[in-house]
């Protein structure tokens, strides 16, 4: 079922009257035909699989509360509960009535709650066998396991947010830095949707004018309405700017790989530890945080960075060449940036020169003049003086790393960024159609040629926010979600 050509079809004689009406029918059609059947009762563990104080098991669907109540020691407590309230009870096997856990249930009545359907969230002990027993009991009662993103998809179906908001839910969960999380929260709050929707409404107004013109043309009226190319060009610019945030948005969401390289004793491990220490203060208090000291996720000014210390390889080898360099190179190959350390107490050696020649490939490199506090010389040009042990020069290094990673990107201070390839491609498509429309308008091409160009841009933006969509697209969007979301 593909709705993408909807607007083009409507051009054939019909006027655009009520977008919302059509959107609704689209969504309903998808509900019936898609991979996801929104009538079924679904359940999933919404918290990570591990021993902990609490775990949350989500349920949703029509008849959800009644069905969950079969697993409650005092079923009526649950079925009588008002929406938005908590119920304390024993969770039991619906067949044997054997108690399984002492739980709290949060009751949501449609259209409230996350999915907009009746739903119950069960807060149980974070016990692995306990969670298993509860899920099995729910299956017995009539629930099936939710597919990835199925709760969010139902929320989208019920109009809780547009498709960019739905995508933002998973983007929040998988955010690797505060900045990425904050950007995704903005999208969840609808800032991207409103930006796109504003452009789309302007385009719909322009298209309506064209359609009216085409209709009246049949009646042979004299005056033609002016469609200014500059107005379309301005909308095209807005869309292109949004598309251009993709590389930065993706950097904030997916992060960069940075490799530390250099000769033995150049101070790679000290620098590695310095990066970790600066970042670590944030998480040291949180229980269960573990780090692997050969590679570690850190954050540099909001950019998540997977930092690789090649120390492990170095130790077993006398020289960075031979086996050692082969293995370090493998890590460096996939790097976005290499930090090459020079031992300032020795100056630039022949070996350094040879390494630097090796490294001058496609990957960006920052040369670090380490041990700057006890160096033999002033830092050479193009190097950044740092004392990894004392922390001197660290802020300048961080700034330089940001500059290299963000490049000449104009969008790094933007409040609204995209990090989804799907969104990027649709914005590009919209911008391209608008570019064509601008050329057509400037070239006085007949309006019935321009109309589908603007129509296609509207379609692309509608698909972006999920107003025009197909089951296939939804499946693709939601299948990348985690279970329980």
**Backbone torsions φ then ψ of 112, nearest 5 degrees:** -80, 180
The answer to whether the Cα torsion of 242, 247, 248, 253 is positive or negative is: positive
CA distance linking residue 210 with residue 455, whole number of Å = 11
Is 439 one of the binding residues for its own copies (CB under 8 A)? no
Given 4, 16, 29, 56, the residue binding its own copies (CB under 8 A): 56
CB of 174 to its own copies, least distance (A): 6
Give the three-class secondary structure for 356: helix
CB of 52 to its own copies, least distance (A): 5
Q: How many CA atoms lie within 13 Å of 376's alpha carbon, on the beta-carbon side? A: 8
> What HEC string does 110-126 produce?
CCCCCCCCCEEEEEEEE
Is 68 one of the binding residues for its own copies (CB under 8 A)? no
Is 123 one of the binding residues for its own copies (CB under 8 A)? yes
Q: Are 214 and 447 in contact (CB under 8 A)?
A: yes
CA distances from 308 to 259, 261, 366 (A): 5, 9, 15
Is 479 one of the binding residues for its own copies (CB under 8 A)? no
- Looking at residues 277 to 316 of the shown chain, list those that interact with its own copies (rule: CB under 8 A): 282-283, 285-289
Extended strands (E) in 311-358: 337-343
Q: Using the minimum distance from each CB to its own copies, give the nearer residue, 88 or 353.
A: 88
How far is CA 416 from its chain centroid?
A: 13
Is 129 one of the binding residues for its own copies (CB under 8 A)? yes
Task: Considering only the stretches 132-140, 214-222, 330-338, 371-379, report the one whose residues sit in contact with its own copies under the rule CB under 8 A.
Answer: 132-140
CB of 152 to its own copies, least distance (A): 9
Is 322 one of the binding residues for its own copies (CB under 8 A)? no
Q: Are 252 and 171 in contact (CB under 8 A)?
A: no
Is 53 one of the binding residues for its own copies (CB under 8 A)? yes
CB neighbours of 11 closer than 8 A, spacing ≥ 6? Answer: 211, 451, 452, 455
Is 408 one of the binding residues for its own copies (CB under 8 A)? no
Given 62, 75, 145, 358, the residue binding its own copies (CB under 8 A): 145
Given 6, 11, 77, 133, the residue binding its own copies (CB under 8 A): 133
Q: Are 154 and 137 in contact (CB under 8 A)?
A: no
CA distance linking residue 334 with residue 210, whole number of Å = 50
Q: Using the minimum distance from each CB to its own copies, give the nearer residue, 267 or 484.
A: 484
CB of 17 to its own copies, least distance (A): 34
Task: Considering only the stretches 28-36, 183-191, 323-331, 385-393, report the one whose residues sit in contact with its own copies under the rule CB under 8 A.
Answer: 183-191
How many CB atoms are closer than 10 A to CB 427?
A: 27
Given 174, 240, 265, 414, the residue binding its own copies (CB under 8 A): 174
224 secondary structure, DSSP code: P
CB of 168 to its own copies, least distance (A): 10
CA distance linking residue 53 with residue 294, whole number of Å = 31
Is 126 one of the binding residues for its own copies (CB under 8 A)? yes
Is 45 one of the binding residues for its own copies (CB under 8 A)? yes
Is 172 one of the binding residues for its own copies (CB under 8 A)? yes
Q: Cα angle vertex 98, ends 97, 104, to 5°?
A: 85
CA distances from 452 to 6, 338, 464, 481 (A): 11, 48, 18, 34
CB of 84 to its own copies, least distance (A): 5
Given 1, 173, 221, 410, the residue binding its own copies (CB under 8 A): 173
Give, to the nearest 10 degrees, the angle between helix 229-244 and helix 447-465.
30
Given 54, 217, 396, 421, the residue binding its own copies (CB under 8 A): 54
Count residues binding its own copies (CB under 8 A).
65
Task: Considering only the stretches 180-188, 410-418, 449-457, 466-474, report the one whose residues sit in contact with its own copies under the rule CB under 8 A.
Answer: 180-188
CB of 1 to its own copies, least distance (A): 28
Helix (H) or strand (E) holding 88: strand 85-92
Footprint on this chain of its own copies (rule: CB under 8 A): 44-56, 58, 84-86, 98-102, 104, 106, 108, 121, 123, 125-133, 135-136, 145, 151, 169, 172-178, 180-182, 185, 188-189, 282-283, 285-289, 482-485
């Amino acid at each position: 079922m593909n709705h993408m050509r909807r607007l083009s079809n409507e051009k054939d004689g019909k006027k655009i009257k009520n977008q919302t009406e059509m959107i609704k029918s689209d969504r309903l059609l998808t509900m019936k035909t898609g991979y996801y059947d929104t009538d079924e009762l679904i359940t999933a563990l919404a918290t990570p699989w591990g021993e902990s104080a609490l775990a949350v098991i989500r349920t949703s669907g029509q008849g959800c509360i009644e069905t969950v109540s079969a697993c409650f020691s005092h079923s009526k407590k649950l079925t009588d509960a008002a929406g938005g309230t908590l119920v304390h009870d024993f969770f039991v096997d619906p067949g044997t009535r054997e108690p399984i856990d002492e739980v709290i249930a949060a009751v949501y009545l449609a259209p409230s709650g996350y999915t907009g359907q009746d739903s119950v969230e069960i807060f149980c002990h974070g016990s692995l066998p306990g969670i298993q027993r509860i899920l099995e009991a729910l299956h017995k009662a009539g629930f099936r396991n939710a597919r990835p993103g199925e709760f969010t998809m139902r929320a989208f179906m019920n109009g809780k947010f547009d498709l960019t908001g739905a995508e933002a839910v998973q983007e929040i969960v998988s955010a690797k830095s505060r900045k990425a999380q904050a950007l995704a929260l903005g999208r969840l709050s609808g800032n991207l949707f409103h930006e796109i929707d504003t452009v789309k409404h302007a385009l719909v107004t322009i298209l309506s004018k064209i359609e009216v013109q085409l209709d009246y043309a049949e009646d042979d009226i004299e005056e033609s309405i002016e469609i200014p190319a500059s107005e379309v060009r301005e909308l095209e610019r807005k869309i292109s700017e949004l598309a251009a945030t993709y590389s930065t948005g993706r950097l904030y969401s997916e992060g960069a790989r940075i490799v530390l390289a250099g000769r033995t004793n150049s101070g790679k491990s000290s620098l590695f530890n310095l990066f970790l220490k600066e970042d670590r203060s944030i998480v040291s208090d949180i229980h269960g945080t573990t780090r692997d000291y050969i590679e570690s996720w850190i954050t540099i000014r909001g950019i998540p960075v997977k930092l690789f210390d090649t120390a492990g390889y170095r130790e077993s080898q006398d020289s960075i060449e031979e086996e050692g360099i082969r293995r370090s190179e493998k890590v460096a190959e996939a790097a976005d940036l290499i930090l090459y350390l020079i031992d300032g107490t020795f100056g630039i050696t022949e070996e350094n020169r040879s390494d630097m020649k090796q490294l001058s490939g496609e990957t960006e490199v920052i040369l670090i003049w380490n041990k700057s506090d006890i160096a033999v010389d002033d830092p050479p040009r193009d190097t950044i003086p740092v004392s990894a042990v004392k922390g001197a020069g660290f802020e300048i290094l961080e700034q330089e790393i940001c500059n290299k990673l963000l490049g000449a990107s104009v969008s790094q201070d933007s409040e609204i960024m995209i990090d989804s390839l799907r969104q990027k491609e649709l914005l590009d498509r919209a911008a391209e159609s608008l570019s064509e429309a601008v050329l057509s308008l400037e070239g006085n091409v007949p309006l019935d040629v321009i109309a589908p160009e603007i129509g296609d841009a509207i379609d692309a933006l509608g698909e972006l926010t999920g107003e025009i969509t197909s089951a296939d697209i939804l499946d693709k969007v939601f299948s990348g979600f985690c279970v329980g979301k």
